[in-house]
């Protein structure tokens, strides 16, 4: 069942997502060659704690960290470690917060120092596909309109969308119905309604779409070793159209 939110619930979800946005904004300033990925997690944890919020991912299905840090060929769920960021890497930062009963969830992918043209283009296309999808998040559209917007943006640029991981509804739970695949057909799927909050999160591979999970049980990498990028926003569907709750300013 897809849970529709009241206006005051959307405002509570916004408060949680604003904390996520603040964390990602802060981390964006910190991402540089030589930074230890564990230290980025520490910074994130300090901010949520100061806000009186909780990190959403820690302990979720046993995930042992507060932040997902996915470097280069890592698609999602990369774990903070002693690893240092290095010039030319691209790094996905995925953070979730829980605050006053509601979850927030967002992801950005950033260049570390100077990166290749092809890495830049992959990140740009992935972010564009997110915004193309968000534009479809209006009442009366179908879920497939969101999925198709991601897929066509990505495939027209010569990349592929990951099949094995999807976006999701979000609210009093981190993951609610519906699942939001990044591939699909216009006009198909459930009808979108005002009051839905959707975490839309394209994961895009430079090469083929197949992925594999490393023996740590979490880290997802591209099977062909190609680069992957990930962007995510939590978006409310409202009378005034799509409202990006996790907007970074
Ligand atoms: N944004 C990701 C998701 O919605 C992050 C979840 S990481 C996990 O699935 F550890 F919480 F699973
Ligand atoms: Co998510």
Atom of ligand 1 nearest to the CA of 175: 4
* Token pair belonging to 30: 């910190």
Average pLDDT of the chain is: 98
Best of 54, 93, 174 for a ligand 1 pocket test (most atoms within 8 Å of beta carbon) = 174
Ligand 1, atom 2, lies closest to the CA of: 94
Query: Given a cut of 90, is residue 248 above it in pLDDT?
Result: no
Question: How many C-beta neighbours within 10 Å does residue 44 have?
Answer: 26
For the stretch 157-187, pLDDT in tens is 999 999 999 999 999 999 999 999 999 999 9
Whole-angstrom distance, CA of residue 62 vs CA of residue 58: 7
Four-residue CA torsion sign, 209, 64, 167, 41? negative
Residue 48 above 90 pLDDT? yes
Mutate to test the pocket of ligand 1, among 55, 56, 60, 69 (most ligand atoms within 8 A of CB): 60
Q: Read off the pLDDT band of 249 (50, 70, 90).
A: confident
pTM score: 0.98
In angstroms, the Cα distances linking 194 to 5, 24, 29, 200 are 8, 27, 35, 16
pLDDT digits (tens, 9 = 90+) for 53-107: 999 999 999 999 999 999 999 999 999 999 999 999 999 999 999 999 999 999 9
CATH of the structural domain 7-244, one choice from 3.40.980.10, 3.40.50.720, 3.90.230.10, 3.40.50.11890: 3.90.230.10
Start-to-end C-alpha separation, the chain: 33
- Non-local CB neighbours of 169 within 8 Å, separated by 6+ positions: 2, 3, 175, 176, 177, 178, 180, 196, 197, 198, 199
Q: What pLDDT digit, counting tens, does each position of 94-143 carry? A: 999 999 999 999 999 999 999 999 999 999 999 999 999 999 999 999 99
């Amino acid at each position: 069942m897809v849970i529709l939110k009241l206006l005051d619930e959307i405002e509570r979800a916004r408060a949680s997502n604003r904390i996520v946005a603040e964390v990602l904004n802060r981390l964006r300033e910190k991402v540089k060659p030589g930074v230890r990925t564990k230290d980025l997690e520490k910074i994130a944890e300090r901010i949520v704690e100061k806000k009186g919020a909780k990190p959403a991912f820690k302990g979720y299905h046993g995930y042992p960290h507060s932040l997902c840090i996915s470097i280069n060929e890592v698609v999602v769920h990369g774990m903070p470690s002693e690893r240092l960021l290095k010039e030319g890497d691209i790094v996905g930062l995925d953070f979730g917060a829980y605050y006053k009963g509601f979850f927030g969830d967002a992801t950005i992918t950033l260049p570390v120092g100077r990166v290749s043209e092809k890495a830049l283009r992959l990140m740009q296309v992935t972010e564009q596909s997110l915004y193309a999808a968000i534009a479809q998040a209006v009442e009366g559209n179908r879920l497939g309109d969101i999925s198709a917007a991601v897929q066509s943006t990505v495939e027209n640029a010569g990349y592929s969308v990951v099949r094995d991981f999807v976006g999701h509804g979000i609210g009093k739970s981190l993951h609610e119905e519906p699942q939001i695949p990044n591939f699909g057909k216009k006009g198909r799927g459930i009808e979108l309604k005002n009051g839905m909050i959707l975490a839309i999160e394209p994961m895009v591979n430079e090469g083929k779409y197949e992925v594999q999970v490393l023996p740590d049980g979490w880290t997802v990498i591209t099977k062909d070793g190609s680069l992957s990028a990930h962007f995510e926003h939590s978006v409310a569907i409202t009378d005034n159209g799509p409202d990006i709750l996790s907007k970074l300013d």
